Structure formats: structure tokens, C-alpha cells
Chains A and B, each alone.
Chain A
Amino acid sequence: MKNNYILYLSILIFGIGAPFLFPAFKVQLSILCVLIVLATTWNIQGGEMGYNSFGNILFYGLGMYLCASVQVGMFFPLAEWTESGGEKTFVHTPTQFFQGMALGLVVAAVVPTIVAGLIGYSILGLRGHYFAICTLGLGVAAGEISGGIEIIGAGQGFTTPPFPDVGSLEARGEFFYFLSFFTLILTFIAVRSIYSTRFKLILNAIRDNEDKAEAMGIETMKYKIIGWMISAFFCGLAGGIMGGLVGYIDSTDVAFDGREMGVFMVLMAILGGKGTLWGPIIGATIFHIFKEGFWTFFLGWQYVALGVLIVVIVIYFPEGIMGWLREKYPERFGEVVDEKDRKAQVELK
């Protein structure tokens, strides 16, 4: 246990020092934090509960639009803002910007949670691939429909408020980095404390055999909805931050981007190892490095590489890095291994 504290402390120190050590990578590091949040929260219902969703992008996009809308709508007429596009007819003062951002993030987190609770009862009754396809449809439908709504920019897009002039050129990057890093810490603490309660065991019971869990007297529907709501809360928060970071929201390419972000979060969790605490974090980090490499060196071919990567990971590496480590070094994971038994099993294989 002592080792863990040293690990956490070193990560914390690295996290705080990173933007000053690598000032050129601030935006990349902030995106990495957001990706880790998304992968970790996808893991709550994808990995622990066994409900593989392609639809968490719905909450992410919803959070993004809500945060930007609140930030603008608090001080200026929203319709005129989106009408004017990128032109700076309205300018936020620093106070207005930060107030708007704070309230926007609260709304961006709370509303998707409520939405998840409302649709949860009907959608979480579906199982297996029906759930996966249904959530896929939900994500795409949200993108298509939001692309037709005028007040949030329709197909033309929505420019989020530009960062106000506070004197320093580095302020924007640092603000968004610390915002996303703080969200990451919040998510990690929340998820870690969830994983040490009975709630996690119930989620695992649902994953392993839902009928049996129900027969044991667990109100599975209630826990499934709560699990999805927790996931939605952090997805919305991540979406709100990402909207401000990117600075421009488009319905199908940025917000409800099921083809990119919606698959990324699934892939990151699978790459790292579904159903583990550290898996999605490791997976997201490796994936982000790979992705940036692809995007830089194979520009134009990145989606081809991505498609191949998905197929390869899914076919040859479905257990993920943590699953592989667990098989290799079971003692580290607190599993007592009988050496004779293990050898016999290896021979059987």
C-alpha cells in the first residue's frame, strides 16, 4: 500500500509540473486528461457492468453544447451569437468568461446525468448487442438532429467564447490544462472509491450473470441506471472542457463524433484492459501517443491506420494490457497461484 502513495504523489507532482516542463504539449496533455476521463468512465458501465455502449458520446456532445450555450447565453443573446459565427461582436470580460465556464460546467455535468437517468430505464433493459446498436443509433441520431437546430449553429457550427485577455499568453493553455487535470483527479478519486464499495461488486454481478443477480434480490435496473448516470456525469464534464479547449463545436465532427471519439473511448478501455482501475488510464495514454503519431506521420492515412488498429486490438488483444499483465504476473494482483497448477495449465494450453 505504501508504494501506491508514492506512485500517486509522483503522478500528482508530474501532473502539476508537466505544463511548465513541456510547455509545447499543454494542449495535448489536456486532451490526454479528457481522454483518460472518458475511458475511465466508459469502463464503469462497459467494463464493470458489461453493458458495452457506443452511446456515451451522447453525453459528451450534450455537455459540450450545454457548456458553451450557458457560457454565451448568460450574457448575450444566443441566437445572435451563433448567427454571427466567428465574428467578435460580443466579447466576454474575464469575470464573465470564468463565471460562465463555471456555471456551464455544472450544467454540462448535471443535465446529461438527468438525461441518462430518464432514458436509462428504457435503454438499459436491452441486452448485449441490442444495447450496443441502440446506443450507436442514439449517438448518431443526436448528431444528425443537433445538426438541424438553428439556435446552436446547425450545420454551420458554434464558436465557443474565446479566452479573455488576462495579460499572459500562456494563460489559456494553463487554465484548460489545470481544469482537465483537476477533472481527471476528481474522476480518479470518484471511480477509485466506487470500486472499493459493494456497488462495484453488484455491477460485476450484473456483468457476470444478470438473471442470477436479479434472483439474488439485487434490483439490477436501479444499479444499472446509477452506473450509467455516473458515467454520464463525467462524460458531460469532459465534453464541456473539450468544447472550450477546441474552441469550435460542430455537430457531427466535434460534439457527437461517434466515428472518432465514440469509438476511441471504447478502444482505449479495451486496449488497457476492461474492468480494471488502471487499464483505461494506461490504454488512453498509449492510445493518445499512437494516435498523435499517426496523425503526424501518416497524415491523410490516419483513419486507415485507425481501422487497422481497431481490428488488430480487438482480434489479437481483447484482454488488454492489464489482462496480459495479470496472466503473466498474477502475484502482483493479489492472486495466490499454485505453481504446479499454473504449469499444468500452461502445458494444457
Chain B
Amino acid sequence: MDFLVFQYPMITVQACLDGILLGVLFALIAYGMALQWGVMNIINIAQGDLVILGGYIAYFMYLYGIHPAWGVIVAPVIMYFVGIAIYKLVINKVVDRDLFISILATFGISILFMQLMNFAFGADVVLANSGYGTTMLFDSNVVLPNSKIFSAFISILFAACLVIYMKKSKLGRAIRATAQNARAAKILGVDTEKVYAATFGINAALCGVAGALISITFTIHPYMGLPYTIRSFMIVIVAGLGNLPGVAMSGMGLGVFEEFADYILGTEFRIGSVFLLLVLILVYRRFKLSRKREYLK
């Protein structure tokens, strides 16, 4: 535990840039979570496991000699159908029920996915090598892998496409209408069942993109799902539902926080600090709201 961060300002720059590029990915996952939370009022604990599954799709393409970057296109297509299947089998039975039921049900899905991935792909930490090389900045004091820049760019592209789709298309408008008031949307002829399925599918597809990018830039492992769920949950509660710039900003903020926690506390406390930050944020918001005699809803 040394404080290189304060002695060498370049490390600070490095951590910030790394964190921002990482945070964009988190924001993409959180966007999916905000979408389904807003529309279906469900917190999906299996979110992170969908991400990891998407990562394994890209990794398998890499194993069979296809460049993993194509996973960005293939993974969301497969994950969309995985998402629809999960919705049809489980989620549509818990949509209108108590929130705790949906949390527990998705927790079950999470355990199931974790173990199935462990069987199918083995318990090794893997990454898909994209062979993109690195970029040097500031007299090669700051090293940025090109794959990270690529992944941030792709994430922004996908998020932008989705935002335009939600604004312009018929399904997008139906989704937004259902999020505002499901009953009114139903009365006006929106097939909410279809909308829910599509929302969950889109969320899974976003997870697939993020997973493919993570398998290129970082590493994936069957048990690494839960931290991604917690990160996206944290980003959504900090930003608030339906606040897209907020999701992007808090995603990057979380990325930078993690990089600094990694440098200052050490890598073994990285995941722990993320979970602790979640607790602190919730407690902070609870005290802030309790002054007005309100609570988090």
C-alpha cells in the first residue's frame, strides 16, 4: 500500500482515463437495468450473469478463430433471445408480484447461470485477445490499450442507437408509454406483455454487447457476475430512473472511483470497496431523505 498516486501525477491521469473508459461500459449495463427497472419494476440480480454470458459468446468466437470484435454484433442477437426465453419462463410470472419475490427469483436465475457457465466453460479466468495494441500518451507515461478505447466507442454507439430507437420507433414509444403508466398503455391498445418481453430482450442484448466488450478489454470468469449487478444498481440509484446523462456521468464516476480504490487500497479490496460504496450511498440517501421525513421508494 504505497501512495504513488500522490507522488506521480501521471498515475492519477492514468487512473482517471482508465476509469472513464471502464465507466462507459458500466453505464451501458446500467442503462439496461434502468430500462427494465423503469418499465417492469424489476431488479434483475442476474444482470451481471447475462453480461458474463455475452462475454463467453465473444470468447468462443475468438477460440474458433473469428475476431472477438464481431462478438459485439453476434452476442446481442443471441442474448436477445436468451432474454426473451428468461422472460417467458420466469419473469412474466413475477412482474406484478412483490418486489422481493422478483429479487429472489432473479437471484435463483443468477445462481443457475453461474453454475451452468462454470460447467460449460470451466472455472478459468479467460480473455479474448483482440490484438489491438496500445496507445501511448504524454511521453509514454500513460498507456491506454486500444481495446479499451474501442470498447468505450462501441458502448457509446450502441447507447446512442438505442436512445434514438426509443425516441423514434413504434416499439420504443410503446415501451416508454408502458413505463409511464402500464394500465393506461394497455387501455390504449399497447400489448404490454409483448412490451415487457421486448424490454427484457433489449436489456439482455445490451448486457451481451457489454459482455463482449468486457471479454476483449478485461477478463471474464463465471462467478464475476454479481459485482456487475451491484455496480449497475448503484449507478441507477445515484442517477435516478430515466436520467440518461446522469447514468453516463455516474458510470464514469464509479469507474474512476474503482481505479483509485485499486491503486490506494490494493486490488484485493477492489470488489469489497464497490459493495461498501453501495452501502454508503444508500445510507447517505436515507439520511438525506429522512430530514424531509421521506424514504427511498
Q: Does B161 contact A (CB under 8 A)?
A: no
Q: Is the interface of B mostly helix, strand, loop or mixed?
A: helix
On chain B, the residues within 8 Å of A315 by CB distance are 90, 93-94, 101, 105
A311-B109 in contact (CB<8A): yes
Q: Does B61 contact A (CB under 8 A)?
A: no
For A135, give the chain B residue with the smallest CB separation.
B279
Q: Does A133 contact B (CB under 8 A)?
A: yes
Distance of A130 Cα from B105 Cα, bound (Å): 16
Distance of A126 Cα from B286 Cα, bound (Å): 6
Q: Does A127 contact B (CB under 8 A)?
A: yes
On chain A, the residues within 8 Å of B99 by CB distance are 128-129, 132
A134-B278 in contact (CB<8A): yes
Contact for A140 among B98, B112, B275, B283, CB less than 8 A: B275
Q: A141-B276, A310-B104, A314-B101 are contacts. A122–B287 as well, Cβ < 8 Å?
A: yes
For B267, give the chain A residue with the smallest CB separation.
A148
A218 to nearest B CB, angstroms? Answer: 16
Map CB proximity to B onto A134-145 as digits: 1 under 8 Å, 0 otherwise.
101110110111
Q: Does A217 contact B (CB under 8 A)?
A: no
Distance of A173 Cα from B149 Cα, bound (Å): 59
On chain A, the residues within 8 Å of B226 by CB distance are 140
On chain A, the residues within 8 Å of B218 by CB distance are none
Q: Does B190 contact A (CB under 8 A)?
A: no
Contact for B282 among A134, A148, A267, CB less than 8 A: A134
A310-B108 in contact (CB<8A): yes
Distance of A217 Cα from B246 Cα, bound (Å): 39
B279-A307 in contact (CB<8A): no
For A143, give the chain B residue with the smallest CB separation.
B272
B112-A318 in contact (CB<8A): no
For B106, give the chain A residue with the smallest CB separation.
A311
For A308, give the chain B residue with the smallest CB separation.
B112
B48 to nearest A CB, angstroms? Answer: 12
Map CB proximity to B onto A305-319 as digits: 1 under 8 Å, 0 otherwise.
011111100110010
A311-B90 in contact (CB<8A): yes
B268-A263 in contact (CB<8A): no
Distance of A304 Cα from B110 Cα, bound (Å): 10
Q: A141-B272, A144-B275 are contacts. A303–B43 as well, Cβ < 8 Å?
A: no
Distance of A259 Cα from B296 Cα, bound (Å): 26
Distance of A138 Cα from B269 Cα, bound (Å): 14
For A259, give the chain B residue with the smallest CB separation.
B111
Distance of A263 Cα from B111 Cα, bound (Å): 10
Q: Is the interface of A mostly helix, strand, loop or mixed?
A: helix
Contact for A130 among B230, B275, B282, CB less than 8 A: B282
Distance of A301 Cα from B119 Cα, bound (Å): 9
B272-A129 in contact (CB<8A): no
A266-B279 in contact (CB<8A): no
Distance of A306 Cα from B111 Cα, bound (Å): 8
On chain B, the residues within 8 Å of A303 by CB distance are 111-112, 114-115, 118
Contact for B107 among A125, A137, A144, A310, CB less than 8 A: A310
Distance of A128 Cα from B105 Cα, bound (Å): 16
A134-B279 in contact (CB<8A): yes
Please indicate which of the listed interface residues B99, B103, B112, B279 has the most CB atoms of chain A within 10 Å of its own CB: B279
Map CB proximity to A onto B268-297 as digits: 1 under 8 Å, 0 otherwise.
110111011011001100110010000111
A127-B268 in contact (CB<8A): no
Distance of A318 Cα from B99 Cα, bound (Å): 12
For B230, give the chain A residue with the smallest CB separation.
A137
B119 to nearest A CB, angstroms? Answer: 8
Chain A contacts with B in 310-335, Cβ cutoff 8 A: 310-311, 314-315, 318
On chain A, the residues within 8 Å of B110 by CB distance are 307
For B271, give the chain A residue with the smallest CB separation.
A144
Chain A contacts with B in 245-277, Cβ cutoff 8 A: 259, 263, 266-267, 270
Q: A144-B275, A145-B272, A304-B116 are contacts. A127–B230 as well, Cβ < 8 Å?
A: no
Distance of A304 Cα from B43 Cα, bound (Å): 21
B94-A307 in contact (CB<8A): no
B272-A310 in contact (CB<8A): no
Q: Does A52 contact B (CB under 8 A)?
A: yes
B25 to nearest A CB, angstroms? Answer: 20
On chain B, the residues within 8 Å of A15 by CB distance are none
Map CB proximity to A onto B168-188 as digits: 1 under 8 Å, 0 otherwise.
000000000000000000000
On chain B, the residues within 8 Å of A128 by CB distance are 99-100, 297
Please indicate which of the listed interface residues B271, B282, B295 has the most CB atoms of chain A within 10 Å of its own CB: B282
Q: Does B240 contact A (CB under 8 A)?
A: no
B286 to nearest A CB, angstroms? Answer: 4
On chain A, the residues within 8 Å of B295 by CB distance are 125-127
Q: Does A123 contact B (CB under 8 A)?
A: yes
Distance of A52 Cα from B99 Cα, bound (Å): 10
A137-B230, A310-B104 given. 10 additional CB < 8 A pairs?
A127-B297, A134-B279, A137-B279, A140-B275, A144-B268, A145-B276, A147-B268, A306-B111, A307-B114, A318-B98
- Could you show 17 A-B contacts with beta carbons less than 8 Å apart? A123-B279, A126-B286, A126-B295, A134-B279, A138-B275, A140-B271, A141-B276, A141-B279, A145-B269, A148-B269, A263-B104, A300-B119, A307-B113, A308-B112, A314-B94, A314-B105, A315-B94
* A-B complex: 3 closest residue pairs judged by Cβ atoms: A307-B112, A310-B108, A144-B272
